[in-house]
Structure 1
Amino acid sequence: MAISVTSLLSISFLLITSSLAHAQIEYVTERRLRGRNRCNIERITAQEPSHRVESEAGVTELFDENDQQFECAGVAFQRRIIQPRGLLPPSFFNAPRLVYILQGRGISGTVVPGCPESFQQFQQQSQRRRGQGQRSSDQHQRINHFREGDILALPAGVVHWAYNDGDQPVVAITVVDTGNNANQLDRNHRQFLLAGRKQRGQRFSVEPTRQEDSNENIFNGFETESLAEVMGISRDLAEKLKGRNDNRGEIIRVEEELRVIRPSRMEREEYEEERRRQTTVNGLEQAFCSLRIKENIDDPERADIYNPNAGRITHLNSKKLPILRYLQLNAEKGVVRPDALISPHWNVNAHAIVYISRGSARFQIVGLRGNTVHNNEVRQGQVVVVPQHFATLIRSSREGFEYVAFFTNDNAIVSNIVGKDSVLKGMPVEVIMNSYRMSTEEARRVKENRGEELALFEPRVQGRRYG
């Protein structure tokens, strides 16, 4: 029986995807060896944007990835604001990234090589369920609704676009994992524009940064005649693709409304459930195309750790969102009550990039030689990089605080020093006694006083003594 070209391409893409995923997971311990000498950090500081790029319908704020702390973690960080009816045109990055939606709602699309243009199929299925006939429509890959609290997971080299269909600005933060094995260019964050044009931005500091001042879209580099011929279009239309006279920037305004085929949220949930039950012929969709790229981490009911007097923490790892296994990234959302504490801890297998989304907190970070590398308040809008194995203790301000943390491992492991399931809790009393020259009673208090609280500790009650 003859095998179609499409089937061969699908099988080839499946094999390539599986091989890449296997290689990424097998060599995760080697993924950051190129930057292993850049984490000799003596002082950690809270980071703010160093570069601002304005567009017609929004703003992109870039943090200085040339800073030693971002170099140590092998990441780039940015904050983006998209105004209502603002469109972030399609582009792709040289490394995997996670996007967290701080505010607003909208729609976004991804275009993955080898995956089917399934949205016309969805539209037809939806119409058949309603007893309607099929109608001619556009075909494209899937679209996701996003809202405040969502994490979007985007693989390297995959085209992505986003649109604000709400009535308030969309504010999103993005961490780009430039140290990931998927990035074979260099340790710099690189965005390749498929459309739009990045304008020259304003720097907030005198120090040079790696971000380029301007970017043209990739069509600009092709000869007009070749572009017109290969696409079967006129020369004038090929010139439009280049966008040389387009000064709208990388976030553009849609004059009326973006009209694309998209399901309602309820229809999308029904469709995804149906897809999960189906088995595919060649396994391609099961391997990559059907993987969810979005999960909400703001819902209190999904919290993994909850203390009514201290707050809650929600983890997002590859067990909850399987695509993170391919990206080798992880995320966490914390809501911490006033004056509460986060147990002193270190990250066993990952760097952490912590963004304060509301309020403020005092971070105490201890380095290799037991020296304090950071002991300051970190405020809303600032970022702190906590290298792997650096111990951290956090106390919330009187107003409380919220944070979003990104980890450079799909299943990041935290080792708490105090409290339930902690280092001290797991030691024999005799070991604590002799290690710290304590009496038996003193060692028991050190081990047991916070023994039933996990990660989040309520503030000390005035007048109460722990000994």
Structure 2
Amino acid sequence: MEMNLKPQKADTTIFEGEGGGYYAWTAAKTPVVVEAAIGAGRLVLQPQGFALPHYADANKIGYVIQGSCTVGLILPEKPEEKVLIIEKGDAILCPIGSVTWWFNGGDSDVNIIFLGETSQSYTPGLFDYFFLTGALGVLRGFSTEFIAKAYHLNHEQSKHLVESQANALVVKIDAGVVNGFPHKCNCTKEEYVVNLDTDTESETDHTERVGLTPKLVRLEVEAVLDPYYSTTHQIMYVTKGGGRIQIVGLNGTRVLDEVVEEGHLIVVPKFFLVALMASDKGLECLCVSTSPRPLTMKIGGNTSAYKALSSSVLEVALNVSPEFIKNIKS
């Protein structure tokens, strides 16, 4: 199994304008996103930036790296707008087909990384977005006759509904309009958001909704994350600091040995072993497993398979002395 697992930063600008931009990892530079059926994108909202209402053909998790913003969320079959205020450290669950909008009402940029799986996407390795409004709005595809009948409008009103918003993806809102925007939560935030700064393990009932499990890995200066494997694919995004990563695949072959830094995305295939070593600046990494119930096994440390194996079994398996086994297990 050969995969190009080299860490990559976002290689494609999907949109960039006055209100912000959206950037993605594509098969051109990161072919493993197609092979592993995962997706990744980064949304930047400038002050008063507004991402137009849309839905996607994939389950994903949005993690706030910087700033805070207001999010509107409407789940399929539940036509109620949930308004949430999310901030740095929050991971919001975005189920497939849910309608969302995102607004930065603050005075500094908001930076959100989206990680998820694309097994149901039209474009392998990418999240396909369908916009309710704007230059790419889905209603533009219908004839005026259909719009008029569906929304009980006349011809001119139908054209106005479809064509009044000429911008796409992200717009900047005038200060006068901002005051009328929703600015308070109207629901229980914990039902839709996991704070990875405080929650070490995500609750299953949250992750079941999107079939994904997020966790935040923090390593102190020059610390090591012991080798482990997962039964599902993992997506890693370096949010702070840097270091080094090694991945070992079939037949004990090292398939990756690279320096990583902030902004790098790495895909770890299922059952491949991975280990991280932080630099002199430490390392913080968002890890998302493509399962609501990922199973992992450590190969190093106090809770590892090596520790659990009988001493006599290890002695024969490694072809070493009993004294050496004692050193390993201690």
Question: With structure 2 as the length reference, what TM-score do the two structures score?
Answer: 0.92
Q: How does 1:81-230 map to 2 (within 5 A)?
A: 81-115=44-78, 117=80, 141-179=81-119, 183=120, 185=122, 187=124, 189-197=127-135, 216-230=136-150
Cα separation, 1, equivalents of 2:139 and 2:47 = 27
- Kindly indicate whether the alpha-carbon contact (under 8 Å) linking 1:49 and 1:62 is maintained by their aligned counterparts in 2: yes
Change (3 A) 1:46 1:63: same
Cα separation, 2, equivalents of 1:43 and 1:95 = 23
SS at match of 1:327: coil
1:341 maps to which residue? 224
User: 1:34-90 deviations in whole A, cap 9, x for unaligned?
Assistant: xxxxxx225420011111121230011111146331123211111110011111111
- Kindly indicate whether the alpha-carbon contact (under 8 Å) linking 1:108 and 1:143 is maintained by their aligned counterparts in 2: yes
2:272 maps to which residue? 390
In the TM superposition, residue 228 of structure 1 has moved relative to its aligned partner by 2.1
Q: How does 1:279-318 map to 2 (within 5 A)?
A: 292-299=191-198, 302=199, 314-318=200-204
1:44 aligns with 2:5: yes
Change (3 A) 1:361 1:368: same
- Kindly indicate whether the alpha-carbon contact (under 8 Å) linking 1:297 and 1:332 is maintained by their aligned counterparts in 2: yes
SS at match of 2:225: strand
In the TM superposition, residue 96 of structure 1 has moved relative to its aligned partner by 0.9
1:422 maps to which residue? 304
Counterpart residue type for residue 336 of structure 1: L
- Kindly indicate whether the alpha-carbon contact (under 8 Å) linking 1:72 and 1:387 is maintained by their aligned counterparts in 2: no
Counterpart residue type for residue 227 of structure 1: I
More helix by share: 1
- Kindly indicate whether the alpha-carbon contact (under 8 Å) linking 1:317 and 1:331 is maintained by their aligned counterparts in 2: no
1:250 maps to which residue? 169
Cα separation, 2, equivalents of 1:196 and 1:115 = 24
Cα separation, 1, equivalents of 2:160 and 2:39 = 31
- Kindly indicate whether the alpha-carbon contact (under 8 Å) linking 2:133 and 2:165 is maintained by their aligned counterparts in 1: no
Q: Which runs of 5+ in 2 are unaligned?
A: none
Cα separation, 1, equivalents of 2:92 and 2:61 = 6
Change (3 A) 1:249 1:186: closer
SS at match of 2:145: helix
1:411 maps to which residue? 293
Change (3 A) 1:258 1:174: farther
Cα separation, 1, equivalents of 2:318 and 2:128 = 49
Cα separation, 2, equivalents of 1:397 and 1:418 = 20
**Identity across aligned pairs (percent)?**
23
User: 1:204-241 deviations in whole A, cap 9, x for unaligned?
Assistant: xxxxxxxxxxxx21011000132023212233332233
Change (3 A) 1:62 1:240: farther
In the TM superposition, residue 184 of structure 1 has moved relative to its aligned partner by 7.1
Q: How does 1:264-283 map to 2 (within 5 A)?
A: 272=188
Cα separation, 1, equivalents of 2:74 and 2:284 = 33
Cα separation, 2, equivalents of 1:169 and 1:234 = 41
Counterpart residue type for residue 111 of structure 1: I
SS at match of 2:300: coil
In the TM superposition, residue 436 of structure 1 has moved relative to its aligned partner by 1.2
User: 1:143-202 deviations in whole A, cap 9, x for unaligned?
Assistant: 1111111111011111111111111111000013112xxx375645311111133xxxxx
Of 237-246 and 369-378, more deviation after overlay is shown by 237-246
Aligned residue pairs total: 325
Change (3 A) 1:417 1:387: same
1:55 aligns with 2:17: yes
CA RMSD across the alignment? 2.1
In the TM superposition, residue 353 of structure 1 has moved relative to its aligned partner by 0.5
SS at match of 1:156: coil
In the TM superposition, residue 114 of structure 1 has moved relative to its aligned partner by 3.5
Counterpart residue type for residue 207 of structure 2: L
User: 1:413-443 deviations in whole A, cap 9, x for unaligned?
Assistant: 2210111221001101111111111100101
Change (3 A) 1:393 1:428: same
- Kindly indicate whether the alpha-carbon contact (under 8 Å) linking 1:315 and 1:333 is maintained by their aligned counterparts in 2: no
Change (3 A) 1:258 1:217: farther
In the TM superposition, residue 329 of structure 1 has moved relative to its aligned partner by 0.5
Counterpart residue type for residue 64 of structure 1: T
- Kindly indicate whether the alpha-carbon contact (under 8 Å) linking 1:95 and 1:155 is maintained by their aligned counterparts in 2: yes
Cα separation, 2, equivalents of 1:339 and 1:152 = 30
In the TM superposition, residue 370 of structure 1 has moved relative to its aligned partner by 1.0
Counterpart residue type for residue 196 of structure 1: G
Cα separation, 1, equivalents of 2:134 and 2:89 = 27
Q: Which stretches of structure 1, 4 residues or more, deviate above 6 A after TM superposition?
A: none
Change (3 A) 1:113 1:70: closer
Cα separation, 1, equivalents of 2:122 and 2:247 = 32
Cα separation, 1, equivalents of 2:258 and 2:45 = 31
More strand by share: 2
Cα separation, 1, equivalents of 2:16 and 2:188 = 37
